[in-house]
Amino acid sequence: MKSCILCNFLSDPYLKFLSFPLIHILLIQIQLSFCFSSREMLILPLKTQVIPSGSVPRSPNKLPFHHNVSLTVSFTVGTPPQNVSMVIDTGSELTWLNCNTTRNNYPTSFDPTRSSSYRPVPCSSATCTDKTRDFPIPASCDTNKLCHATLSYADSSSSEGNLASDNFIIGSSEISDLIFGCMDSTFSSNSEEDAKNTGLMGMNRGSLSFISQMGFPKFSYCISSTDFSGLLLLGDANISWLVPLNYTPLIQISTPLPYFDRVAYTVQLEGIKVSDNLLAIPKSVFVPDHTGAGQTMVDSGTQFSFLLGPVYTALKTEFLNQTTSVLRVLEDQNFVFQGAMDLCYRVPLNQPTLPQLPTVSLVFRGAEMTVSGDRLLYRVPGQVKGNDSVYCFTFGNSDLLGVEAFVIGHHHQQNVWMEFDLEKSRIGLAEVRCDLAGQRFGVGL
């Protein structure tokens, strides 16, 4: 362990798959600092690299499509340590690693037979019988009486293996006996790409999530919209000197409901504005119904944001109305980006910048998240119509995915400080230049 030079400073007052030749991945470099005042805090810088498609894990969350941008952390696991790379996913509980070493091209898989500290979890243990209750599919007992976990997703892909514990080493900090899934069997509609997956870091509120096992009272991240630099901060830090946060409470429902994820980061969406126009949508539309359908989840494992059909249609209509004079709609009913994003535009290839666009504000209880500029339209790689490139609206229709929820993806969290306060059951957010915030924390210097 080493002391942190920043300590005094910080204490100061689911559809069609797409394959892209290259994908931008946010890699958290192994440059960590440790502060020990009342609690330990880890600061992890974010840095972008361009990596061939499929060479890092695709987040296997409930939205079954390939991300071209994922938030990824790299560190080591086991004794002796093995390098792994994992997608940070606030929408999942179980942290897992791909342990299938029988196929070729597994440069970052985890081999449990090479780790002397690896311990499978017996199915009779309290970890297996009690702490897996929030898993979508209950844990079971395999023929060796070991705790068996199965993950299943909306695109019919699945992954299964045993729960186990091992030592996770982040920088010079070692987390002993962390529970994770050692997944050795996968079935996927795109097995060639998924075969290269390494794993996923589950960060939701479940008892077996990475953040819950670490015992941190909160964590934060901030992603730049320009070069995707930024930082992940694990632990408690007073950042009032940086930016005042607006907080929205986390919604909790104790009664199990079929369509409500009780360990997700669920907030209450109350409305949507396009520029200053509040869409004429009753607030009741944003409230989960008696089945739990209609919750609003903040999910770092999903790239874009998705809205239930009626809300999406209202937003699409208003955005169209306000952009008629500056954007040319793509008139192709057969083209739907990632199966759920059907509002696309043609932009001349020789046009260096997008025109001035109206803002879209997500109004939460106690806080707002405003999406503007380039974050509203996404250039579809490889799509050219005549002399035009294709840009699609970065909000999609969750009804087309078969997902009964509003999902706020990380694309719309760029240049927003996102604080997940587990102790006070709330999320804090504020607009901030994430590249400058990283510099203030001594990251990226």
Q: How far apart are CA 280 and CA 358, in angstroms?
A: 17
Longest C-alpha distance within the chain, in Å? Answer: 66
Token pair, residue 396, equals 């999609």
Q: How far apart are CA 223 and CA 11, in angstroms?
A: 22
The answer to whether 333 touches 340, Cβ cutoff 8 Å, is: no
Buried b (16+ CB within 10 A) or exposed e, 284-313: eebebeeebebbbbbbbbbbbbbbbeebbe
Q: SS3 letters for 85-132?
A: EEEEECCCCCCEEECCCCCCCCCCCCCHHHCCCCEECECCCHHHHCCC
Strand 277-278 to 269-274 pairing: antiparallel
Angle among Cα 103, 87, 79 to the nearest 5 degrees reads 65
Strand 96-98 to 173-187 pairing: parallel
Q: Which residues are catalytic?
A: 89, 299
Q: How far apart are CA 250 and CA 245, in angstroms?
A: 15
The answer to whether 54 touches 98, Cβ cutoff 8 Å, is: no
- What DSSP designation does 356 have? P
Q: What is the CB-side half-sphere exposure of residue 417 using CA atoms within 13 A?
A: 23
Q: How far apart are CA 1 and CA 421, in angstroms?
A: 26
Q: Per-residue confidence of the chain (445 residues) as pLDDT tens digits?
A: 333 323 332 333 332 222 222 233 333 333 333 333 334 678 776 544 333 333 333 333 334 334 445 677 778 999 999 988 877 889 989 999 999 766 554 556 899 999 999 999 999 999 999 999 888 888 999 999 999 999 876 555 678 999 999 999 886 678 899 999 999 876 554 444 444 447 888 999 999 999 999 888 999 988 877 665 678 888 887 777 778 999 999 999 989 899 999 999 999 999 999 999 999 999 999 999 999 999 999 998 888 999 999 999 999 999 999 999 999 999 988 888 888 899 999 999 999 899 999 999 999 999 999 999 999 999 998 899 999 999 999 999 999 888 899 999 988 999 999 999 999 999 999 998 888 787 777 765 4
Number of H-type helices and E-type strands within the chain: 6, 30
Token pair, residue 239, equals 């950042």
Q: How far apart are CA 68 and CA 20, in angstroms?
A: 7
- Distances from the Cα of 410 to the Cα of 31, 88, 112, 312, 417, angstroms: 23, 11, 32, 18, 11
Residue 12, judged by CB atoms within 10 A of its CB (0-12, 13-18, 19+), counts as: exposed
Full strand arrangement of the beta sheet holding 388-393: 328-329, 344-348, 388-393, 377-385
